[in-house]
Structure 1
Amino acid sequence: MPRLFAALELPRDATLSLSLLRGGLPGARWIDVENYHITLRFIGDVSGPTADEVVNAFDRIRRKEFQLRLQGIGSFGSKKPHSIWAGVTPTAELMALQGEMERICQRLGLPPDPRKFKPHVTLARLKTARAGDAVRYLEGRGDFVTMPFAVDRFVLMSSRESVGGGPYVVEESFPLEPVGAGARSAAEDVRAYYGPL
């Protein structure tokens, strides 16, 4: 069974901007441009029936379209960096969508995601890169930013057993409601949860 995860795809302009960050870091294994994405929830290796339950539950999510922007770059692994990423400016809409997915997955019996959600796009894996080289690479590109782009759907993707970084396949897609349609906004979510502010 393939490994599943929920994600947002990136438009061509954003992937083009990200592709310009490739190179200049010895020992980095760069992710193929067509595999750039923002992971919302890692689901993992699940059975066919569980995958069907996830698809059915995600199909009932009603959220409005929203805008995102990529901004800044950084690394995971403080003393020994193991990956380079581009940041995603978090929005209330993004956090609400991700939170709903997390609640759905836990209701379906999947273990909670142990990591705090930090939206990002993985650009490279570092196995043999030296920490000093990674620091120099990041220092020269800290002002990275893209124009805002529209998010009008999320997807369920799969990855086959590999070293990591793709190839990824879109298994299902779930459209978001156009602004002005009947979906709940993030502000309405907050009011529904906490009452009037």
Structure 2
Amino acid sequence: MHRLFVALELPPLVRDALLAVHGGVAGARWQRDDQLHLTLRFIGEVDRHQAQDVSAALGSVNIQRFALSLGLPGTFDRRGRIDTLWVGVTPQSEVGALAKRVDSALLRIGLPPETRAFVPHITVARFSRIAGPLEGFPAAPLPATPWDVTGFALWESRLGHDGADYAVIERYGSHYAAL
């Protein structure tokens, strides 16, 4: 079985800006450089044949170049407890449209639709036990780090003792270009 997701790769300049703000938040498990990405669609566990279908379907997704920049930080919580710290991107409309095209391609091969609202973000830290506000992380947008998005990738996630290891399986278009 393969645990798959579709995501944007981030150029080094963007990853460096995100890595530079790591630290100073109690209980944070910071994402490593190789874990930083912007998820377009989580697929989940599929067998080898389904993985091949996913790869072929993604090849039909039309992507046109658009620019993104890092935006405001935010959090996700589970039952009132913060479990994820993330940084958003701006503008959100074009990356949202790409996520919809990816979802449509996956629907055509029989995968169920994504039911959660798409919130374009880059996870920077995860938490096991945190209940209150985050102190020590910038509340304002990070430094401007614009980049052109010209493609996306199919990734595989392997869960281990030290968190998840991610590997790009296939790229569609060119994954990024610096402005």
TM > 0.5 between the two? yes
Structure number having the greater strand percentage: 2
Amino acid across the alignment from 1:12: P
1:164 deviates by 8.0
User: Is the radius of gyration larger for structure 1 or structure 2?
Assistant: 1
- Structure with greater helix share of residues: 1
Tell me the alpha carbon deviations over residues 4-60 of structure 1, each in whole angstroms, 9 at most, x when there is no partner. 000000011111110111110111111102210000000110111111111111112
Q: Distance in 2 between matches of 1:16 and 1:85?
A: 15
Alpha-carbon distance between aligned partners in 1 of 2:94 and 2:163, rounded to the nearest angstrom: 27
Secondary structure of the residue aligned to 1:161 is strand
What is the one-letter code of the residue matched to 1:126?
Answer: F
SS at match of 2:160: coil
Q: Distance in 1 between matches of 2:144 and 2:160?
A: 30
Partner deviation per Cα, 1:48-92 (whole Å, 9 max, x = no partner): 111111111111222212111111101101731001000011343
Q: How many residues align?
A: 174
Q: Where in structure 1 are there 5+ consecutive unaligned residues?
A: 177-197
Structure 2 match to 1:54? 54
Residue 43 of structure 1 pairs with residue 43 of structure 2:
yes
The CA RMSD measured in Å over matched residues stands at 2.0
TM-score (norm 2): 0.88
Q: Which residue of 2 aligns with 1:195?
A: none
TM-score by length of 1: 0.81
**Partners of 1:162 and 1:115 in 2: how far apart?**
26
Answer whether contact 1:25 1:129 (CA < 8 A) is retained.
no
* Whole-angstrom distance in 1 between the partners of 2:104 and 2:151: 19
The whole-number CA distance in structure 2 between the counterparts of 1:119 and 1:106 is 20
1:81-160 matches, cutoff 5 A: 81-132=82-133, 134=134, 136-138=135-137, 140-160=138-158
